[in-house]
Structure 1
Amino acid sequence: MPVITFSSDIGLNDYLVGAIKGQLISAIPDCTIADISHQLSPYDYQQAAYVCGNAFKYFPADTFHLIMVNFFEKPLKYLLLAEYGDQYIICPDNGMLTMITRTRPENINAIDIGDAVSLLDCTKVIAACIHKMITGAKLTNVSSITEIDEKYPMRSAVGNDWIDSQIIYIDNFENVVLNLTKEEFEEIRRNRKFKIVLMRNSEFITKISDHYASVQPGENLAFFNAAGYLEIAINKGNVAGLFGLQKYANTSNMQNRLLYQTVRITFE
């Protein structure tokens, strides 16, 4: 039974997600479709990479991951089909592929979309391509590609006694996730004491907790979440709202450049 995941910036307020699922089921009747998220930002690739990349690793071999983020950023002539370990990713050639994989996959192909113009025209081509791959039919509209748009996740800025980490995700509880893994943190920390600065000279976190119950309700805490990234929260509270922490600013006068807010960690 083939598995297809579906991630997008479409939202759930109209018919499109349902229509695309209908196309997939019509082409591959025995498939299982798993939604990752349809609330991704069309411009925040770092967010999409965090959400998708950390979900994909839990799916079985031969899963197809369909990603529709900023789908029509530029005129489409083809879509990318890449091997991702023992799975596959299908997405536009807009940098999303390498944001998720963090490297350039060895096997990347282009799916020629022909005369497809609308979103549903394109997804019809995708559904037919997946069906052919599953059944072993010849792929007449797929060819290898060498030049692709490559974008990569930002890394924290590092000094001798500080780290500036970007806020890459804020969840529904307004907990804040930074682009700093446990391995990166410990490598830079070198067993030193630290302060996570929430508000200049007034609010700090000075220890890593195991879980929310490690502190009393209303207290700040930091912990490494299930994805391995540093997360800042308040037990039964709202850390993003309380301290004015934001994911990014989308500045229209800077060609949609995303300005990520940083959180500083100091060592002593």
Structure 2
Amino acid sequence: MPVVTVTSDWNKRDFYAGALEGGLLGIAPVCEITHQIHSFDVRMGVFVLRQAFTRYPAGSIHILAVQSQATDQLPMSVAYYQEHYFITVNDGRFSLLFDHEPQWIRAVFAAQGTFSELDAYIKAVKAIVEDKLGEMTLPADMKTEVRPSAVAEKDYIMGQVIYIDSYGNAITNVSRSLFDKVGAGRDFRIFLQGPYTRIEKISDSYGGVRPGQLLALFNSAGLLELAVFMGSLATLENIGLYDDIQIQFNKHG
């Protein structure tokens, strides 16, 4: 029996999450990834699901319910990627979620009603579990959206904050592999919000500096993360989502 995960911006205060999970429990076990995605923030939902789904067993079904009202032009769809099923609106977010084309995408027949995605999710999960997806879907092409990427030159990298976690740590789109390739072991400075806030060392853990001190490390996703030990970088340094960061490498090694 596959596991069904749910990532949404519905907030548990409302009935939506409970209604979906109740409708799914008779079909398959349900696991909440989070219902605390910021309202309508598709990129945040994509980031969270992208980091989490690989931890689940092959055959798992992942629902991304963030700004998920389907239309005829942007239908609710099922994608199959790396032995996992994904159910969400085909509006470009699949291309942000996956590193390459999924094995296939199928559009779910439109449901009617003000909360039509609820029924669409339940019907799609039921069809996957019963191996009847072909009866309620049609083949579809993946719509694409440009994923923000770090820009690298010989002596610097320009990156962007793509996620701020609940501790106020800023996760960027600068990967360890890009940092190592451009830096080639050279000394560096990481600049935040202009020339005055900077970091000159990569730490191995959060505890490698004094409380209140800035630090940079590569997290479990292999992305550069900026933080304040025992504090909130977002609050103390006024760092926000999609803010730019710059890494300047010493030209002389």
Structure 1 length normalisation: TM-score? Answer: 0.86
Residue 245 in structure 1 maps to residue 227 in structure 2: no
Residue 140 in structure 1 maps to residue 135 in structure 2: yes
- 1:85 corresponds to which of 70, 82, 85: 82
- 1:265 corresponds to which of 244, 247, 253: 247
Q: Is the 8 A contact 2:74 2:90 kept in 1?
A: no
Q: Is the 8 A contact 2:107 2:138 kept in 1?
A: yes
- Whichever residue aligns with residue 150 of structure 2, its letter is S
Cα gap change, 1:201 to 1:139, in 2 (>3 Å): closer
- Could you say which residue in structure 2 is the equivalent of 1:212? 206
The farther-off stretch of 187-196 and 126-135 is: 126-135
- Could you say which residue in structure 1 is the equivalent of 2:3? 3
What is the DSSP-based 3-state SS (H/G/I as helix, E as strand, rest coil) of the residue aligned with 2:227?
Answer: strand
- Whichever residue aligns with residue 91 of structure 2, its letter is N
Structure 1 residues 98-109: aligned runs within 5 Å? 98-109=95-106
Q: Is the 8 A contact 1:73 1:94 kept in 2?
A: no
Aligned partners of 1:90, 1:23: CA distance in 2, in Å?
Answer: 15
Structure 1 residues 48-127: aligned runs within 5 Å? 48-72=45-69, 74=71, 78-114=75-111, 116-119=112-115, 121-127=116-122
Cα gap change, 1:138 to 1:89, in 2 (>3 Å): closer
- Could you say which residue in structure 2 is the equivalent of 1:256? none
- Could you say which residue in structure 2 is the equivalent of 1:131? 126
The offset of 1:133, in angstroms, is 2.4
- 1:166 corresponds to which of 155, 160, 165: 160
What is the DSSP-based 3-state SS (H/G/I as helix, E as strand, rest coil) of the residue aligned with 1:57?
Answer: helix
Q: Is the 8 A contact 2:76 2:120 kept in 1?
A: no
Tell me the C-alpha RMSD between the 2 structures: 1.9
Cα gap change, 1:137 to 1:159, in 2 (>3 Å): closer
Structure 2 length normalisation: TM-score? Answer: 0.91
What is the DSSP-based 3-state SS (H/G/I as helix, E as strand, rest coil) of the residue aligned with 2:162?
Answer: strand
The offset of 1:203, in angstroms, is 2.9
What is the DSSP-based 3-state SS (H/G/I as helix, E as strand, rest coil) of the residue aligned with 2:55?
Answer: coil
Q: Deviations over 1:214-250 (max 9, x none)?
A: 1111211100111111101111122111111110xxx
- Whichever residue aligns with residue 6 of structure 1, its letter is V
- Could you say which residue in structure 1 is the equivalent of 2:25? 25
Q: Is the 8 A contact 1:178 1:229 kept in 2?
A: yes
Which 5+ residue runs of structure 2 have no aligned equivalent?
Answer: none
Aligned partners of 1:50, 1:150: CA distance in 2, in Å?
Answer: 16
- Whichever residue aligns with residue 123 of structure 1, its letter is L
Q: Is the 8 A contact 2:45 2:64 kept in 1?
A: no
Q: Is the 8 A contact 2:72 2:110 kept in 1?
A: no
Q: Percent identical across equivalent pairs?
A: 28
- Could you say which residue in structure 2 is the equivalent of 1:233? 227
- Whichever residue aligns with residue 214 of structure 2, its letter is N
Aligned partners of 2:121, 2:146: CA distance in 1, in Å?
Answer: 25
The offset of 1:112, in angstroms, is 0.6
Cα gap change, 1:136 to 1:71, in 2 (>3 Å): closer
Cα gap change, 1:181 to 1:3, in 2 (>3 Å): same
- Whichever residue aligns with residue 55 of structure 1, its letter is A
The farther-off stretch of 85-94 and 199-208 is: 199-208
The offset of 1:162, in angstroms, is 1.5
The offset of 1:200, in angstroms, is 3.5
Aligned partners of 1:199, 1:122: CA distance in 2, in Å?
Answer: 40
The offset of 1:102, in angstroms, is 2.8
Q: Is the 8 A contact 1:102 1:152 kept in 2?
A: no
Q: Tell me how many residue pairs correspond in the alignment.
A: 250
Q: Is the 8 A contact 2:41 2:67 kept in 1?
A: no
What is the DSSP-based 3-state SS (H/G/I as helix, E as strand, rest coil) of the residue aligned with 1:160?
Answer: coil
The offset of 1:158, in angstroms, is 2.1
Which 5+ residue runs of structure 1 have no aligned equivalent?
Answer: 248-259
